[in-house]
Structures are given as structure tokens and as C-alpha cells.
């Protein structure tokens, strides 16, 4: 029981490695502690410890799920707390499975065992990114945005590759502790090589800036979520965004996800013309988030170009927020979420053309899916995300989401533009640094000039396959030298 409590405490503390705290060094120590706890465990005991770690991590790291369900979704407090607990418990199954698998791969070769630990945790992060449509929030790699030197590996191996390297370094620290001098030296060399290599890679420019900048204005309306869909406040949304667009002319004006609480085809034509007039006069366009009607009774969460009418439809929908999984239609009676039954957009949609630049759009939590973003970025010179994180109030969701967007900029060598309803609206440079941001929960516009980028990073070419191959090689090597784990008392 003591070890279960220790594992749970390690998981709770791991939330501090991510935004808004961003203590990236802490992840190495916590994963080292988890490796020390589970190193000699049998698979069942390792699974329980992994579950305890994951439960602590997700309860602390995604507590904002409760806020969205109770405060804005209208679910009773007790039910929202239970739903948050159950969701966290489901996500905790992934580290549980990872550590159980590592226990089965346990070998006498210390470094192979460390590699198996890193590979299994990285594969668990990857699997969490696609099972049941995927929820890769709080993947280990996201803790290593700048100033972490491991951010330098993002353009090569992506987030899951960083997950592997972080866990490998953590296991190396354990192997060095009270180890023979030769092993301690080897561990020191590994840690220094990984850390120094990442630091050197941070100085590499994988893409090239175009000479002519593009003027952009990212609008943040700050419309309270509980008020947004009230018919009597429609005029407030329309007038606020119209005023922001006219006061902040730019070639690219970006409005947040579902910025205007009307179906796109019900917006007054004269309003769209007025909204886009300053941008059109500059040779650009306004891209606004809206719910778009498709054929029949299908609806899409979309970004639409006011001038050209081109659209991007969200492909990765949020379970329960934008679509209801089979057998769960009954939840619609408990949640009061507008537009909760949408259709997914087609894969690999074309970028928007704004002057000489091509802008690849993604909506809300779509920027969690690095491989999809990299695929779209290969045909674009800029990335843009529109979000409405007002659902999560004054929680860690907004800074965590910004941290995820920073990793996408690093992986693709592209600037990322973020327009949000309540925060965090930001311009992120290709090196993952936030150049400018608006104060959350304020109304305003973030104006900047950004340069499109040419060229492909290694990650854009191989996406997650090199990291998965690396993990597969480690596991295959362990299988060749696997041995039974000696019996130990259960924790």
C-alpha cells in the first residue's frame, strides 16, 4: 500500500511539469522515482503502481474536465466529479498497461531494461492518442517545451520521441544511483549526451523564413460561455467582433472557434461584407469559426473565409462535446451543450490562401494530433488554431493548450497563430517560443507580422514512425533477452 501511495503522489506531482508551472526538470525525477518503484515488480504489481501514478497525474492535470461538465455543461456536481474520476481512471489504464508490459520484458541487461521502460511509456502516450478517437493530453513529451533542451528533438522525433528520451534519461538516473563506477559513468555519459544533443539541436533552423511578412490580427472577443448562446446577447457578439476587426486591420484576421453563435448561412450578408472589408482592402481575408450546415441535416464545426467562402471542417471531434459515441446518447439529457452532435470533416483538407501564404487550419484540440498537423503543414507556410476554451474557466486547460501548440510549432518549423474566445490568444514562433499573447479573459486583438516558412523538418517527413520504430527496436531487443521476474511481496 505504501508504494501505491508513493506512485499516486508521483503522479500528482507530475502535473507541475506541465503548464502553467512548466518545471520540465521535475519530470525526470518523477519518472526516475516511478522506475525505481517498479523495476523489480511482477506485471500485476507494476500495473497497479502504473495505474496509481496515472490516476494521480490525470486527476491533478485534467481537473478542468469537472469545470466544463458542471459549471458550463449543467451536470450535477456529484455526477461531474464522478465522471472526472472515471475519465481519469480510464486514462490511467495506459501507464498501467505500459508498466505491466515492461515488467514482462524485464531482462538482466540494465540498459535494455531502461530502454524497455522508456519505450513502453512512449507507446502508451502514442496509443492514448488514437484509442477511442484519442486524447493525448499530458503526454510526457509536452513537459519538455523550451527552455528544456529536449525541445530540440521535436523537429526530429516529435512529442512521442521526446517521451521516450525523457523516460530513458530518467531510468538512467536510477541506474547510476549507488551503481558501480563503470555504470555510473555510462549513465552520466548518456544523460549528458541526450541533454547536450538536444541543446545543440535547438540551434538548428530546419525551415527558412520567407522575405515578406504577413500582417495578422488575432481577435479575442471574451464572450462568457454561459452567456454566449443566449439569443438576446447575439448582438453583443456581432458588434464586438465587427468593432475589433475594424479597429485592427490586417491582411489575415482570425476569429476564434464558433466566434458567432449563429449558423454560418444565417449570418447577415451585409455583416460578413462589413467584417471583412478592411482585410479585403488590404488584399487579405477574414477567417472565422462558425457552425456550418452541410448536406441534409449534417453540421460541421468549421472555419470559413468570409471573402472566398472556402471552409475547413474539424476532423477530430471532441467526444460528448461535439459528438456522442454509440450507446451514450443518454448523456445528452445530462449535458446542456449546444451543437453536441456534429459531423467530422474530411481528412487532409487544403490550406487557405492568404496573399502569398498558405495557412493550415486546425480547430481546438485538433492540435494535439501532431502527425495530422505535420501532414497539413507540409503544404502550408503558416499554422493557425482557433479555439474556444471558455468551457474550462480559470483552469490549467488554457496554458496547457498553449504548451501543446508550442510543440506543434517546434515539430513543423512553422509559426502558430492562435485565436481564442477567452485565452490564450498568441503568436508562437517556429522555435516554440511565445512571441506575444493577449491577457486571458479580456477583449482585444493581437497584432503582429509573421513570416511564412519553407522547407520540411525531419518530423514532417517521417511523422511518428521513427519514434515508433525506435520503441519497437528496444522492445524486440528485450524480447530476445527476457527472463522471468523473481517473486516479490506485492506493494
Query: What whole-number distance in Å separates Cα of residue 448 and Cα of residue 337?
Result: 34
Q: Cα dihedral sign for 133, 138, 141, 145?
A: positive
Report residue 334 as a C-alpha cell: 445530462
CA-nearest of 99, 95, 103 to 40 is: 103
Q: What is the largest CA-CA distance in the chain?
A: 77
Q: Running DSSP on this structure, what letter comes out for residue 439? A: P
Sheet holding 299-305: strands in order across? 311-313, 299-305, 285-293, 252-254, 208-220, 444-454
CB 78 within 8 A of CB 132: no
Give DSSP secondary structure letters for 330-361.
Answer: GGGGT---TT-S--PPPSSPPPEEETTEEEEE
CA angle 396, 402, 405 (to 5 degrees): 140
User: What residue has cell string 460578413?
Assistant: 272
SS3 290: strand
Active site (catalytic) residues: 257, 314, 364
Amino acid at each position: 500500500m505504501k508504494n501505491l501511495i508513493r506512485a499516486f503522489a508521483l503522479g500528482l506531482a507530475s502535473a507541475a511539469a506541465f503548464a502553467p508551472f512548466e518545471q520540465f526538470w521535475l519530470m525526470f525525477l518523477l519518472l526516475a522515482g516511478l522506475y525505481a518503484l517498479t523495476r523489480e515488480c511482477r506485471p500485476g504489481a507494476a500495473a497497479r503502481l502504473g495505474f496509481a501514478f496515472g490516476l494521480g497525474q490525470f486527476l491533478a492535470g485534467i481537473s478542468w474536465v469537472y469545470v466544463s461538465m458542471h459549471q458550463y455543461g449543467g451536470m450535477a456536481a456529484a455526477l461531474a466529479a464522478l465522471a472526472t474520476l472515471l475519465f481519469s481512471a480510464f486514462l490511467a489504464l495506459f501507464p498501467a498497461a505500459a508498466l505491466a508490459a515492461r515488467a514482462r520484458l524485464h531482462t538482466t541487461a540494465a540498459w535494455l531494461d531502461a530502454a524497455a521502460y522508456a519505450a513502453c511509456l512512449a507507446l502508451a502516450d502514442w496509443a492514448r492518442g488514437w484509442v477511442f478517437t484519442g486524447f493525448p493530453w499530458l503526454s510526457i513529451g509536452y513537459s519538455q517545451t523550451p527552455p528544456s533542451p529536449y525541445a530540440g528533438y521535436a523537429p526530429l522525433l516529435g512529442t512521442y520521441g521526446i517521451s521516450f528520451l525523457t523516460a530513458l534519461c530518467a531510468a538512467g538516473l536510477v541506474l547510476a544511483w549507488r551503481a558501480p563506477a563503470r555504470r555510473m559513468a555510462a549513465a552520466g555519459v548518456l544523460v549528458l549526451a541526450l541533454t547536450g544533443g538536444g541543446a545543440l539541436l535547438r540551434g538548428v533552423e530546419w525551415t527558412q523564413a520567407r522575405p515578406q511578412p504577413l500582417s495578422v490580427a488575432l481577435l479575442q472577443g471574451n464572450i462568457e460561455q454561459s452567456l454566449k448562446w443566449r439569443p438576446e446577447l447575439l448582438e453583443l457578439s456581432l458588434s464586438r467582433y465587427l468593432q475589433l476587426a475594424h479597429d485592427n486591420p490586417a491582411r489575415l484576421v482570425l476569429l476564434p472557434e464558433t466566434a458567432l453563435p449563429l449558423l454560418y448561412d444565417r449570418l447577415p450578408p451585409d455583416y460578413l461584407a462589413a467584417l471583412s472589408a478592411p482585410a479585403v482592402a488590404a488584399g487579405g481575408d477574414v477567417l472565422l469559426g462558425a457552425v456550418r450546415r452541410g448536406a441534409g441535416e449534417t453540421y460541421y464545426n468549421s472555419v470559413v473565409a468570409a471573402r472566398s467562402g472556402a471552409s475547413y471542417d474539424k476532423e477530430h471531434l471532441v467526444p460528448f462535446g461535439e459528438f456522442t459515441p454509440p450507446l451514450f446518447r443518454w448523456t445528452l439529457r445530462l449535458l446542456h451543450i449546444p451543437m453536441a452532435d456534429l459531423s467530422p470533416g474530411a481528412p487532409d483538407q487544403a490550406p487557405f490562401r492568404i496573399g502569398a501564404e498558405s495557412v493550415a487550419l486546425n480547430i481546438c484540440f485538433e492540435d494535439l494530433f501532431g502527425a495530422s498537423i505535420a501532414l497539413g503543414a507540409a503544404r502550408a507556410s503558416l499554422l493557425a488554431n482557433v479555439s474556444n476554451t471558455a468551457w474550462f474557466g480559470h483552469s490549467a486547460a488554457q496554458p496547457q493548450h498553449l504548451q501543446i501548440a508550442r510543440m506543434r510549432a517546434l515539430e513543423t518549423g512553422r509559426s502558430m497563430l492562435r485565436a481564442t474566445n477567452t485565452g490564450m490568444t498568441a503568436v508562437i514562433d517556429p522555435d516554440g517560443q511565445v512571441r506575444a499573447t493577449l491577457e486571458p479573459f479580456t477583449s482585444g486583438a493581437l497584432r503582429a507580422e509573421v513570416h511564412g516558412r519553407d522547407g520540411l523538418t525531419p518530423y514532417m517527413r517521417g511523422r511518428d514512425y521513427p519514434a515508433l520504430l525506435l520503441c519497437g527496436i528496444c522492445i524486440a531487443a528485450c524480447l530476445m533477452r527476457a527472463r522471468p521476474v523473481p517473486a516479490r511481496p506485492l506493494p
